[in-house]
Amino acid sequence: MTLPQRIARLDVYPTADDVEFFRQNGYLRVERITTDEEVEWLGRRYDELFAERRGAFPGGYFDLSRPYDAEGADLLPQILMPEIKVPEVRETSFHRNGRRYAAALLGVPKEDLGSWGHMILKPARVGHETPWHQDEAYWEPTRSYTAVGLWMPLDPATVESGCLHFVPGSHRGEVLHHRHISDDPAVHGLWTDEADGTGSVAVPVQPGGATFHHPRMLHYAGPNRTDRDRRAWATEFQLPPVTLDPPAHRPWVEEGRQAWDGRRVIAEAVAKRGRA
Ligand code: NI
């Protein structure tokens, strides 16, 4: 399957002011990163994968806010590495522009950047808040990362539907102490008890627009109080991680690993495809 020919290509380019804003603040909002047509196409693929839920992604589909084996309606479901099932996403303007921006924001050649995606769904009315956290807190403590996250909503992301909130400048700090939601290592979602959002800004985005954020950026998204799902397709662009010796102190990663078979399952899926 390839991306339908009829979807027109859009190319957008970061300015020097964009790069400077990101360096100062640790995030960037981009009005347009792809077309409405492509958002619609991505939305259909998104809905198909969420309809399959665990069937499509054993270990890679879970509710961030509840234990892995919880029954009932999901409140904050996520799918990791959707590109394993939808490799055409790599041909989209979303991905191409995202990589171009990521390279400029990080100051590295775009050819050097690897990427992996995730899809986060905040269901209408019941979508759970995403508590304050830094993305790097989820990652391997034995690695050092040069990375930037791209986040594009497929539905209007407003304060009411759960847009992102950032604390400008917080990317310059260390990874703070994090804990699992409900203090249960079988809940994937993390939050930090060392930040309360003081000084934060809400960053609403329309579908087809996007935000970028640094892996140490403190961020949050509220619950979805609207009657429409708030779907988002995110992609992490990163240089190959470098071994960190000694490792960072992140005991919550090891605690969570024992409850989740996702790393193994995803590694196998990637090995089968021959690439990440
Ligand atoms: Ni995050």
The rounded average pLDDT for each run of 10 residues, N- to C-terminus, in the chain (276 residues) is 80 98 98 97 95 74 86 90 92 97 98 96 94 96 96 98 98 96 93 95 98 98 97 97 94 88 62 54
Sign of the alpha-carbon dihedral angle for 180, 228, 79, 58: positive
- Alpha carbon of 236 to ligand 1 centroid (Å): 10
In order of 68, 119, 165, 183, the CA distances from 256 in angstroms are 11, 20, 25, 10
CA-wise closest residue to 186 among 261, 251, 259, 77: 259
Q: Which residues contact 211 (CB under 8 A, 6 or more apart)?
A: 27, 28, 29, 30, 150, 151, 164, 166, 203, 205
Neighbouring C-beta atoms of residue 8, cutoff 10 Å: 10
| pLDDT reported for residue 234 | 97
In this prediction the pTM is 0.93
- Alpha carbon of 134 to ligand 1 centroid (Å): 6
Residue 27 has φ and ψ, to the nearest 5°, of -150, 170
- Alpha carbon of 138 to ligand 1 centroid (Å): 9
- Alpha carbon of 4 to ligand 1 centroid (Å): 31
- Alpha carbon of 215 to ligand 1 centroid (Å): 8
- Alpha carbon of 244 to ligand 1 centroid (Å): 22
- Alpha carbon of 219 to ligand 1 centroid (Å): 6
Neighbours of ion ligand 1 (CB under 5 A): 135
- Alpha carbon of 8 to ligand 1 centroid (Å): 30
Cβ atoms of 217 and 126 closer than 8 Å:
no
- Alpha carbon of 234 to ligand 1 centroid (Å): 10
- Alpha carbon of 50 to ligand 1 centroid (Å): 19
Neighbouring C-beta atoms of residue 152, cutoff 10 Å: 24
- Alpha carbon of 190 to ligand 1 centroid (Å): 9
- Alpha carbon of 135 to ligand 1 centroid (Å): 5
- Alpha carbon of 44 to ligand 1 centroid (Å): 23
Please state, in angstroms and rounded to a whole number, the distance separating the CA atoms of residues 261 and 59: 6
Please state, in angstroms and rounded to a whole number, the distance separating the CA atoms of residues 171 and 148: 11
